[in-house]
Structure 1
């Protein structure tokens, strides 16, 4: 007669099995999680461009109003034309506009024009999933940005250069 071995259910076997299942799930879920973050980052970059174009359009409209012909003393301007002093002075060179995929506002900054051309240079960025600005150049509004800004950490953004006309 053959002796049948009784199979025992040991806790070490269960822990090994759970470890293998957890490891397999981590390997499978990691690319999926990364692709979700990539999709959000791409969406943030695309929307940053749109926000940049909107800010540039605001500046274009303001320069058109400011270049309107001045009326001699005693004359009147149409109601739709703002006085020259109010149009460009009230525009901020830095600010926020819209929201990124993580629910935080996009930041923008109009860069000084070193070449004295008629182009507007603007940088638009998102602070990313952690909602902290990690780009040292962009953190301080008083600091001058020379050249192309570098985005640090998980910050994403674009630099646009467009004609004012």
Structure 2
């Protein structure tokens, strides 16, 4: 009889053990999950920079004039050689590549002048894949400096010479 009493498992003891196991898992899992998310954010920022450089390279190739500089050549009268450096039909917004969460990076060329300086904004919509920062896609909205990202959106603002 005494052996049966010793081996008896009480529900209160089992609840205490399960609570301790759950608490220890929460303590261990929270920093691990945060570290995992932080590493994805770092990868997203690094990839955003790479995408930015790629977009500028593509923009540079697309903006190269195919018109000869020879003044005797035949070109439409509406196009001057100074206008051909940055054609108006190049898109200043778009998507390219994928972020760590599987959504495409978005980009917006903020400014490109004839001296070769290009400012470009590249951002990710983050884990929830919803654009929460207003006016990033809006080509009419002026973005002077680094935007304040809302929600879980992240991105980089790059400024480079595109020559």
1:17 deviates by: 1.1
Cα 1:146–1:100 shift into 2, 3 Å: same
Change (3 A) 1:24 1:90: same
- The whole-number CA distance in structure 2 between the counterparts of 1:67 and 1:56 is 21
* Structure 2 stretches lacking a partner, 5+ long: 76-82
Compute the TM-score of the two structures, normalised by the length of structure 1: 0.79
User: Which of the residues 109, 118, 142 maps onto 2:140?
Assistant: 142
Counterpart-to-counterpart distance in 1, 2:66 and 2:159 = 21
Say what the alpha-carbon RMSD is for the aligned residues.
2.7
How many Å separate the matches in 1 of 2:68 and 2:103? 37
Q: Does 1:120 align with 2:118?
A: yes
1:142 positional shift: 3.3
> Which stretches of structure 1, 4 residues or more, deviate above 3 A after TM superposition?
70-75, 115-118, 139-142
Q: In 1, distance between residues paired with 2:94 and 2:17?
A: 54
Normalising by structure 2, we get a TM-score of 0.80
Q: How many residues align?
A: 153
Distance apart, 1:117 and its partner CA: 5.3
Q: For residue 97 of structure 1, what is the aligned residue in structure 2?
A: 96
- Following superposition, the deviation at residue 57 of structure 1 comes to 0.8
1:59 aligns with 2:59: yes
Which structure 1 segments of 5+ residues have no match?
76-83
Aligned to 2:80: none
Query: 2 CA distance for matches of 1:153 and 1:67?
Result: 46
